[in-house]
C-alpha cells in the first residue's frame, strides 16, 4: 500500500514537466486530459479507461482539477459531503471574462445557492421541506401528462418514416414535463429552451470569448424570466407544482425557504429536470438502437424497460461528471489532497468500473446491479428528481417500442455540446417504414400502455427467456431441467452457490432454484427441482406443466451463498435437495485442488439426486448418509473439535442446519455458511409490531417505519433505493449497513456472529429492538 501523500503512480519517463499542487509530477496521460475534446465528448468512460486502470486519481493542469475515476472512491466522496463540499457544483468551469460578467450583472443575475451546491447545515433542512413532491406517491399525478405528451409528439411524426428524436420530441417533452412539475405556465417554451442551453454552456462548457457575451445575455434573460414566472406564481400559490409547494413551505419555514432561494431553484430546477432527462433519453435511444437484440427484447417484453432505463443511465448517462471541493485535508485513492483542491468526479467512468460492474462495458439490460450507477449521484445530494426522470424515460421507451418497434438509427455522426458534465447527442436521427407501423393493423396500439412502476426498478422485473432443452428425472420426485437462452446467445457466468428465480408461468408465482451444472458452461444452465408434497404451487407447476421446448422466464443468477476459496479446508454438508448448490461448490473445490469433504444425507438412496455422479467425481471425498440404510450423519461428532481455517458450507432441511449451527457454536466465528431453501418468516402482523425510525446517515433523512410497514417499504416510499429479491429474508439482496441501534433480526441469511456484530440487516423483514436505528444509506 502507498503511504498516503506519496504518489501512487509510477510516473517514470512518462512524467512531463508540470507539477501537481501536491508536488508530484503530472503524468503524460494527465497532462493530455482534455474534457472538451472529442475523445471525452464521444465516450468519457472509454477516454478515461487508462486512468481507471493506472492512475485512478490524477491532476489535470489544464482544468486545475483532480480527476477521480473509480466507483468506490467516487461513492465515498458523495457520501462525505462535509469533507467534499458540493459548493462548486455549479461554478463556471471556464471563468468568464469581465465583459460577460458585466452583462450578467446588468440583468441583476444573482444565482444563489441551490440544493445542488449548498453546504450543511443549510442544505438538509431545505431538502427536507421541499422533498415531498418527489416521492413516488406524489409523482403518480404526473404520469398521465407524460403519457399524453408522448402520444401527441409521436403522432406528429409517426407517418413520416424519419425523425430527429431530439428535435422533434425529446427536447420538448421533458421541458414541458419540467414546467408542469414546477408549476410553470407553458408559454415561452422556445425562449426557455434557448436560455437553458446557454446556461449549460455558461456553467459546464468552454465558450469562446466572443460567445461569452451572447451566452451571458441569454443566461441573464433566463434569470429575469424565472423571476417573472415566480412572481406570477405568488398570485396563485395553491396551484399544483413544486414551486407553489415551495411558496407554501415558505410560509411555514420562512428562514429556510427564502425568496432568493426560490428564484435560484426555479432556474436550476428547469435545467435539472429538463436537459438531464432529454439527454438521458437521447443517449438511451441511441444505445438501444445500436444494440438491436436489446431493442428487440424490450419490444417483446416491456417488463424489461425499467431495468433497461437503469442500464442506459449506467452505460451512457446524461451526467458524465460532477464536482466537489475538498474542505479539509483528505486522502483519495492514496493521494493526499490539501484543503481547497477541486475534484472532477467522473461518474460515467465509475459506472464502467470493473471492480463494481462485472463485464462493465457490456450493455446488458438484464444486469442485476444496473441501478447502482452513480449518474444520479449518491447520498445527501442525490438527484431529487431521479424518479421523475425514470418515469419519463420509461414512458418514452414504452411508447417507442410499442408504436415504432421497427425503428432503426439512420446514418449519422453524433455531436455533443462540449462541456464536462451534461452529455447527450444533439440529434438522433431514426428511420422506419411507415407502411409497417403496427397500429395501421391494430389501431388500439396507439392508446395501449403497460403500467409502470415509479421508483427504482424491482429485481422482479428483469427476466430472461430460456428454453427447456431437457427434462430428466434424477431421483424420485426430482426432475433436472436443462435450460438454454431463447436467442441462442451465451448465458452469463455464475459462481457456485448462485440461484435463479423461475417464473412459474401465469400462476403469479416465482421460485428460486440453485444452479447445479458447470459454471463455466455458458451454453446451458441446470437446475434440479424436488416436488414438494405440500407444494404451494411452484414445484408442482414445474413437475406438472413444463415440457421440453417450453419457454421459461428466469431472473438472475444471483449469488448470496458463497464459499471461501481461501479456506484451509472446506466441509460441505448437504441434506436432500440441498445438494444442488453444494454439488456446484464441491466441483469447484475439486477443480481448484482445495482440501474438502462432501457429506450428503438423505432418507432413501432412490430419492437422493446425483449420487452416482458425485461418487464418480469425488471418490473418497464423498460421504453418503442414507438413513433407511442405517447410516446417519452425526453432526456433533463431525464437528467435535474446533479447528481454525475450516469452513463448513451447508444447505438442507431446517433441522440439519440448526444442528450444524449448534455444533459450530464453539468454532471460530463464521465457520458456518448456510443457505436456507425456505423461510421461517410469518406475515407482518401490525398488531404485534412496533413503529420505529431510521436515520439515514448518507442521505441525512429520518424516516418513520409504521407497524404495518417493512423497513424496505418505508425506504422506498421515501425515495431511497434499496435492492430486493425474495422479500422473505432468504436471499440477502436487501442488506443495509447499520451504524447504530439494536437490530431485531428476522432473516435466515446472517450467521450468528453476523447478527451479533449488529452492523447490517435485511430491510425486507428485520426491525429495530428500540425506537431508532442509524443506517449507512
537 binds ligand FMN (CB under 6 A): yes
Instruction: For residue 513, give every residue at least 6 positions away whose Cβ sits within 8 Å of its Cβ, in sequence order, or none.
Output: 499, 500, 502, 527, 528, 529, 580
653 binds ligand FMN (CB under 6 A): no
Residue choice 514, 526, 671, 699 for contact with ligand FMN (CB under 6 A): 514
**Restricting to residues 716-745, which ones interact with ligand FMN according to CB under 6 A?**
730-731
In the bound state with ligand FMN, the residue whose beta carbon lies nearer, of 268 and 726, is 726
Residue choice 73, 530, 656, 660 for contact with ligand FMN (CB under 6 A): 530
CB 394 within 8 A of CB 182: no
Instruction: Candidates 214-222, 304-312, 536-544, 762-770: pick the segment binding ligand FMN (CB under 6 A).
Output: 536-544
Residues listed for the chain: 777
Binding mask 306-325 for ligand FMN (x = CB under 6 A): --------------------
How many degrees, rounded to 5, is the angle at CA 323 between CA 241 and CA 720? 50
Residue choice 577, 601, 608, 648 for contact with ligand FMN (CB under 6 A): 577
In the bound state with ligand FMN, the residue whose beta carbon lies nearer, of 468 and 739, is 468
Residue choice 118, 301, 675, 698 for contact with ligand FMN (CB under 6 A): 675
Residue choice 677, 694, 716, 767 for contact with ligand FMN (CB under 6 A): 677
Cα separation, 335 vs 75, whole angstroms: 16
Q: Kindly state the smallest distance separating residue 677's Cβ from ligand FMN, in Å.
A: 4
Burial of 42 (0-12, 13-18, 19+ CB in 10 A): middle
Q: Kindly state the smallest distance separating residue 538's Cβ from ligand FMN, in Å.
A: 3
CB 145 within 8 A of CB 177: yes
* Type and span of the H or E element at 763: none
389 CB neighbour count, 10 Å cutoff:
24
114 sits in the region (left: phi over 0; alpha: psi -120 to 50; else beta) called beta
Instruction: Candidates 44-52, 307-315, 673-681, 710-718: pick the segment binding ligand FMN (CB under 6 A).
Output: 673-681
Cα separation, 73 vs 85, whole angstroms: 15
192 binds ligand FMN (CB under 6 A): no
538 binds ligand FMN (CB under 6 A): yes
Cell numbers at 740, concatenated: 447504530
Q: Kindly state the smallest distance separating residue 613's Cβ from ligand FMN, in Å.
A: 15
Q: Kindly state the smallest distance separating residue 598's Cβ from ligand FMN, in Å.
A: 16
Q: Kindly state the smallest distance separating residue 667's Cβ from ligand FMN, in Å.
A: 24
In the bound state with ligand FMN, the residue whose beta carbon lies nearer, of 194 and 536, is 536
Q: Kindly state the smallest distance separating residue 497's Cβ from ligand FMN, in Å.
A: 9
In the bound state with ligand FMN, the residue whose beta carbon lies nearer, of 541 and 596, is 541
**Residue ranges in 563-651 assigned as alpha helix (H):** 579-592, 611-618, 635-638
CB 697 within 8 A of CB 774: yes
CB 510 within 8 A of CB 463: no
CB 35 within 8 A of CB 63: yes
The pair phi, psi for residue 122, each rounded to 5°, is -75, -35
Distances (CA, A) of 63 to 94, 154, 633, 722: 8, 42, 67, 36
CB 275 within 8 A of CB 200: yes
Q: Kindly state the smallest distance separating residue 603's Cβ from ligand FMN, in Å.
A: 15
The pair phi, psi for residue 163, each rounded to 5°, is -155, 150
In the bound state with ligand FMN, the residue whose beta carbon lies nearer, of 243 and 611, is 611
Q: Kindly state the smallest distance separating residue 754's Cβ from ligand FMN, in Å.
A: 17
Cα separation, 437 vs 443, whole angstroms: 10
Determine what percent of the chain falls in helix, strand and coil, rounding each to the nearest 5.
40, 20, 40
Q: Kindly state the smallest distance separating residue 622's Cβ from ligand FMN, in Å.
A: 19
Instruction: Candidates 36-44, 58-66, 534-542, 751-759: pick the segment binding ligand FMN (CB under 6 A).
Output: 534-542
Bridge partner list, 520:
none
Q: Kindly state the smallest distance separating residue 526's Cβ from ligand FMN, in Å.
A: 10
Q: Kindly state the smallest distance separating residue 491's Cβ from ligand FMN, in Å.
A: 17
Cell numbers at 39, concatenated: 475523445
Residue choice 499, 599, 621, 767 for contact with ligand FMN (CB under 6 A): 499
DSSP at 205: B
Instruction: Candidates 89-97, 370-378, 636-644, 672-680: pick the segment binding ligand FMN (CB under 6 A).
Output: 672-680
Q: Kindly state the smallest distance separating residue 465's Cβ from ligand FMN, in Å.
A: 20
Instruction: Candidates 110-118, 197-205, 283-291, 505-513: pick the segment binding ligand FMN (CB under 6 A).
Output: 505-513
Total of residues contacting ligand FMN (CB under 6 A): 23
Q: Kindly state the smallest distance separating residue 684's Cβ from ligand FMN, in Å.
A: 19
Cα separation, 80 vs 84, whole angstroms: 6
The pair phi, psi for residue 719, each rounded to 5°, is 80, 15
Closest Cα to residue 718, out of 246, 139, 136, 181? Answer: 136
23 CB neighbour count, 10 Å cutoff:
8
678 binds ligand FMN (CB under 6 A): yes
CB 449 within 8 A of CB 430: no
Cα separation, 262 vs 247, whole angstroms: 8
503 binds ligand FMN (CB under 6 A): no
Residue nearest ligand FMN, Cβ-based: 538
Cell numbers at 405, concatenated: 418497434
Taking only Cα atoms into account, the Rg of the chain, rounded to an integer number of angstroms, comes to 29
510 binds ligand FMN (CB under 6 A): no
513 binds ligand FMN (CB under 6 A): yes
576 binds ligand FMN (CB under 6 A): no
In the bound state with ligand FMN, the residue whose beta carbon lies nearer, of 282 and 730, is 730
Q: Kindly state the smallest distance separating residue 732's Cβ from ligand FMN, in Å.
A: 9
Q: Kindly state the smallest distance separating residue 500's Cβ from ligand FMN, in Å.
A: 9
482 binds ligand FMN (CB under 6 A): no
505 sits in the region (left: phi over 0; alpha: psi -120 to 50; else beta) called left
Residues engaged in binding ligand FMN (CB under 6 A): 499, 511-514, 527-530, 532, 535-540, 577, 580, 675, 677-678, 730-731
Amino acid at each position: 500500500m502507498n503511504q498516503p501523500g506519496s504518489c501512487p503512480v509510477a510516473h517514470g519517463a512518462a512524467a512531463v514537466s508540470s507539477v501537481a499542487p501536491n508536488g508530484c509530477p503530472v503524468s503524460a496521460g494527465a497532462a493530455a486530459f482534455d474534457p472538451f475534446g472529442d475523445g471525452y465528448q464521444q465516450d468519457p468512460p472509454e477516454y478515461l479507461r487508462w486512468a481507471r486502470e493506472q492512475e485512478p486519481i490524477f491532476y489535470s493542469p489544464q482544468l486545475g482539477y483532480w480527476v477521480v475515476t473509480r466507483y468506490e472512491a467516487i461513492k465515498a466522496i458523495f457520501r462525505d459531503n462535509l469533507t467534499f463540499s458540493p459548493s462548486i457544483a455549479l461554478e463556471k468551469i471556464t471563468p468568464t471574462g469581465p465583459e460577460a460578467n458585466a452583462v450578467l450583472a446588468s440583468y441583476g443575475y444573482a444565482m444563489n445557492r441551490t440544493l445542488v451546491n449548498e453546504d450543511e447545515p443549510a442544505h438538509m433542512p431545505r431538502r427536507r421541506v421541499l422533498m415531498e413532491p418527489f416521492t413516488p406517491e406524489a409523482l403518480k399525478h404526473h404520469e398521465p401528462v407524460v403519457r399524453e405528451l408522448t402520444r401527441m409528439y409521436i403522432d406528429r411524426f409517426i407517418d413520416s418514416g424519419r425523425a430527429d428524436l431530439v428535435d422533434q420530441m425529446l427536447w420538448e417533452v421533458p421541458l414541458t414535463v419540467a414546467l408542469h412539475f414546477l408549476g410553470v405556465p407553458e408559454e415561452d417554451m422556445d425562449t426557455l429552451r434557448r436560455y437553458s442551453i446557454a446556461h449549460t454552456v455558461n456553467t459546464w462548457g468552454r465558450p469562446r470569448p466572443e460567445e461569452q457575451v451572447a451566452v451571458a445575455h441569454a443566461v441573464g434573460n433566463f434569470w429575469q424570466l424565472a423571476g417573472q414566472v415566480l412572481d406570477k406564481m405568488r398570485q396563485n400559490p395553491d396551484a399544483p407544482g413544486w414551486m407553489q409547494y415551495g411558496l407554501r413551505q415558505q410560509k411555514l419555514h420562512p428562514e429556510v425557504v427564502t425568496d432568493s432561494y426560490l428564484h435560484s431553484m426555479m432556474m436550476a430546477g428547469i435545467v435539472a429536470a429538463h436537459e438531464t432527462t432529454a439527454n438521458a433519453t437521447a443517449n438511451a435511444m441511441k444505445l438501444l438502437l445500436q444494440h438491436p437484440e436489446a431493442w428487440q427484447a424490450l419490444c417483446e417484453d416491456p417488463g424489461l424497460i425499467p431495468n433497461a432505463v437503469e442500464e442506459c443511465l449506467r452505460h451512457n448517462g446524461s451526467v458524465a461528471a460532477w464536482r466537489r471541493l475538498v474542505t479539509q485535508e483528505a486522502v483519495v485513492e492514496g493521494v493526499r489532497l490539501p484543503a481547497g483542491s477541486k475534484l472532477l468526479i467522473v461518474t460515467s467512468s465509475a459506472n464502467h468500473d470493473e471492480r463494481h460492474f462485472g463485464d462493465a462495458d457490456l450493455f446488458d439490460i438484464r444486469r442485476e446491479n444496473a441501478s447502482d450507477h452513480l449518474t444520479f449521484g449518491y447520498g445527501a445530494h442525490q438527484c431529487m428528481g431521479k424518479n421523475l426522470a425514470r418515469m419519463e424515460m420509461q414512458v418514452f421507451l414504452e411508447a417507442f417500442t410499442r408504436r415504432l418497434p421497427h425503428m432503426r438509427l439512420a446514418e449519422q455522426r453524433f455531436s455533443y455540446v462540449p462541456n464536462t458534465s451534461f452529455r447527450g447527442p444533439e440529434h438522433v436521427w431514426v428511420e422506419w417504414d411507415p407502411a409497417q407501423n403496427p397500429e395501421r393493423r391494430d389501431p388500439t396500439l396507439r392508446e395501449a400502455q403497460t403500467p409502470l412502476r415509479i421508483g427504482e426498478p424491482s429485481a422482479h422485473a428483469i427476466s430472461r427467456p430460456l428454453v427447456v432443452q431437457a427434462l430428466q428425472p434424477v431421483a424420485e420426485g426430482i426432475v433436472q431441467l436443462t435450460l438454454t437462452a431463447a436467442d441462442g446467445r451465451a448465458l452469463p457466468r455464475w459462481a457456485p452457490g448462485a440461484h435463479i428465480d423461475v417464473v412459474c408461468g401465469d400462476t403469479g408465482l416465482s421460485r428460486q432454484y440453485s444452479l447445479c451444472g458447470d459454471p463455466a458452461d455458458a451454453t446451458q444452465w441446470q437446475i434440479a427441482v424436488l416436488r414438494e408434497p405440500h407444494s404451494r404451487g411452484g414445484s408442482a407447476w414445474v413437475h406438472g406443466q413444463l415440457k421440453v421446448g417450453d419457454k421459461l422466464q428466469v431472473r438472475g443468477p444471483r449469488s448470496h451463498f458463497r464459499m471461501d476459496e481461501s479456506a484451509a479446508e472446506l466441509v460441505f454438508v448437504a441434506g436432500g435437495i440441498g445438494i444442488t448448490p453444494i454439488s456446484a461448490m464441491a466441483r469447484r473445490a475439486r477443480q481448484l485442488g482445495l482440501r474438502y469433504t462432501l457429506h450428503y444425507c438423505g432418507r432413501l438412496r432412490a430419492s437422493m439426486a446425483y449420487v452416482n455422479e458425485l461418487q464418480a467425481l469425488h471418490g473418497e471425498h464423498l460421504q453418503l448418509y442414507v438413513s433407511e440404510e442405517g447410516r446417519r450423519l452425526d453432526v456433533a461428532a463431525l464437528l467435535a473439535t474446533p479447528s481454525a481455517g475450516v469452513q463448513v458450507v451447508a444447505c438442507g432441511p431446517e433441522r440439519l442446519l440448526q444442528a450444524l449451527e449448534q455444533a459450530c457454536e464453539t468454532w471460530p466465528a463464521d465457520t458456518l455458511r448456510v443457505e436456507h431453501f425456505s423461510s421461517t418468516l410469518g406475515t407482518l402482523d401490525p398488531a404485534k409490531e412496533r413503529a420505529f425510525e431510521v436515520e439515514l446517515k448518507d442521505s441525512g433523512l429520518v424516516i418513520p417505519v409504521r407497524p404495518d410497514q417493512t423497513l424496505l417499504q418505508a425506504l422506498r416510499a421515501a425515495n431511497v433505493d434499496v435492492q430486493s429479491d425474495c422479500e422473505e429474508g432468504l436471499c440477502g439482496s436487501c442488506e443495509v449497513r447499520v451504524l447504530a441501534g439494536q437490530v431485531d433480526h428476522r432473516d435466515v441469511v446472517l450467521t450468528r456472529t453476523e447478527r451479533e456484530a449488529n452492523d447490517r440487516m435485511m430491510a425486507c423483514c428485520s426491525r429495530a429492538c428500540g425506537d431508532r436505528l442509524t443506517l449507512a444509506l
